[in-house]
Structure 1
Amino acid sequence: MLQFDIVIVGNSAAGLQAIRTIRRHDRTVSVALVDREPCPAYSRVLTPYFIGGKTPRENLYLVDLPFYDEMGVTTFFGKNAVSLDPERRELGLEDGMTLRFGSLLLAMGSEARPFKTGSRRISTLRHMADAEKLASLLQPAKSVTALGAGLVSVPVLSHLPRDVERHLIVASGRIFSRLLDAESALLLEEHFEASGVILHKRDDITEVLEGERLQISLASGGTLATDALVVGKGVVPNTRLAAGAGLAVKDGILVDERCRTSHPAVYAAGDAAQGKDFVTGETTVQGNWITAVEQGEVAACNMLGLQHVYEGSMKNNITEVFGLEVAAIGFCSDEAPRCVVHGSLASGRFRKVFLDERDRVIGAVVIGETNDSGLYYQMVRARLPFPGKRALQGENRYAGFMRQIA
């Protein structure tokens, strides 16, 4: 049995930020990192570029192996954590090893929602092994179908060669239904179709048959013949370890304003954690990189006894799809009390700002050039009033406004 002051389970945004934060404040505490994948941390956001042949595998890595040595972290790569006893402060690994801890951070992320398997030509995308499989599978494909219009399947289709036939099956009435409002989603749908994507909205897969090609039967009654199926039906937070240990769990692992779980020695951050939303005040699993980094830092500080408080997470997703940059910040919903729109896709610059009852900025959708998305994020965080429609006309106007209030 090995003893560490801090044990971290998970080697992505939250885990990495926790390591960096711990070492920024303390070089003496002992730290261990456990992760199921046998490699350094990498960017899942970049995997569609790798799959589409636009970047090599080595460009996916965020750090190299010497990073962990430099940070004084003992790594247990390629190992699953299978048991947790918070009272005894023991974490069990699948090889029978037990790690004792003073504090524990659960930052295991989430898993792709399962889909009926049985074909090598069907794959989700969550881990490096999935990316490698899809890169091999899609390279010779002449037709690719994606199920689910989220931040996994759409970028994969987006980075395929233009001559590949692309189908997108969406169970709901619009793409990015959990990310964008209806108007913004419709603009992107028109752009997708102009880029050659065949949309199947309010539809689903009822059967997949093997043959020379996959034969897909749709709920609408139609059929598709395709070379590969990419499944992106959302993700499920990794809560099994926490639930088995008796920690409070709903959709994710419930955490307070210090990213602490229902046990004082155990913390959670990132896609596995469910905490307060900054705008609505409700608990949610935010599932984005910035939230994971922020929660990882707050958890690390509190594990060191520094008493940091997190005001809440915010939606902050930025992606590129079919040559178009898209950012969704804060509360981007048709349920917002008021919104202000400026620009169009034709002009290459669309902005939609969402306001509360007091005309404070609570969210924004930015389509086109997204360099000013960070300004919208800061406006929501600062609970600032909307500065007027002229502010939407360019980055410099917003930057000047932010300087005035700083």
Structure 2
Amino acid sequence: MTRVGTDVAVTGMGLVTPAGADEDAFWDGLCAGVSTARRREELAGLPVDFGCAVDGIDLDAAIGGRSVWRMARFVKLALLAARRAVADAGLSPDRWDGDRVGVVLGVGVGGVSALVDNVRRLDGGGAEAVSPLLVPMMMPNAAAGEVAIALRAHGPSLAPATACASGATALALARDLLLDGRCDVVVAGGTDAVLTPLVVSAFAGMGALSRRTGDPAGASRPFAADRDGFVIGEGAGVLVLERAADALARGGRPRALLAGAGSATDAHHPTAPDPSGGGARKAVTAALREAGWRPDQVDHVNAHGTATPLNDAMEAALIAGLFPHRPSVTAPKGVLGHTLAASGAIEAVACVLTLERGAVPPIANLGAAPGEFGLDLVVGEPRAQEVERALSHSFAFGGHNVVLALQRFRADGPPPADRGVLDNA
């Protein structure tokens, strides 16, 4: 297909996270640099009994209507975030051409709580006890389907599953749909809600989670020398994307540009990253090439930063090698925990807010930047910085690497000096 235009704009954002369910609360939580991890009653007695949950919001009441009875938690999170994103964009299903609206929502697992509940019903009461709603509640594509129903979006509806990169994959696919001329608006992001004994036990059993049960709030420690694993979280992040020219023509407000996206696969191991960082490097290089940026033009990196020993070491070497000019680096998972499929989209929102607000949130639980990495890690308090260009990394189980290139929106376009030829990265 012939690509239509060159600039894709973020025009709306909505999220539901452990740090807050609206943009300002979320930003304040990130800038406070304090972890949201707490012990969870539903995890009591497990080797890891804590996580970062979305609390203080009645999802059923917030969504309203009778359809909530058929939705699993990850779907409710996505639907609420999507509605807020569309409203933030100044759009309405009552006024758009639904045939030109797409939905792309990444999900890692799906409705695992419904599955577990119905396995128990089957064991206790036989086949007749199994709910006829199990399949629509369990299937990972339910989020994309329910959001499309609610928004009357009849364009492509996709549910990419690239583990922890799913939200970023969704945004990359949405960008393609717009540039290929298949959609005029795409509602895209990621969602996951698997704070359950089964999933937490599985992650703990494979050694992926922090075992700091005596200090849950200090457990997620991206890039710290004593990091020992991630803290599981939940949430949803949804962005509305449009071609920038279309958004401006309708009187919309471009909040940032999704200037490029790059993807590559490690093909190394089901869960461990390639220690050489080869796949991640290819994804970064592809994102830079799409955006038309030189490496030295990157001002800021939102790191995947899971606080696992292998990921952080690989990612630190990658950033130091590609960007010797030392852009600022943050890692929101210190505050939010690892929201799995939602993380790439939630962190894309964080990048847009950094571009808009001229500040970089600090990394939680990191008192000082370790000298071993040679990175400009933001610690202690938010750093005032006028960021023009930011990269957001998502590196996932299965070897999926996705990198998003987000650029500050300027109505008069970037300065001429910024239109350089990309050097080899």
Per the TM superposition, whether the score is higher than 0.5 is no
More strand by share: 1
Report the TM-score, using the length of structure 1 for normalisation: 0.30
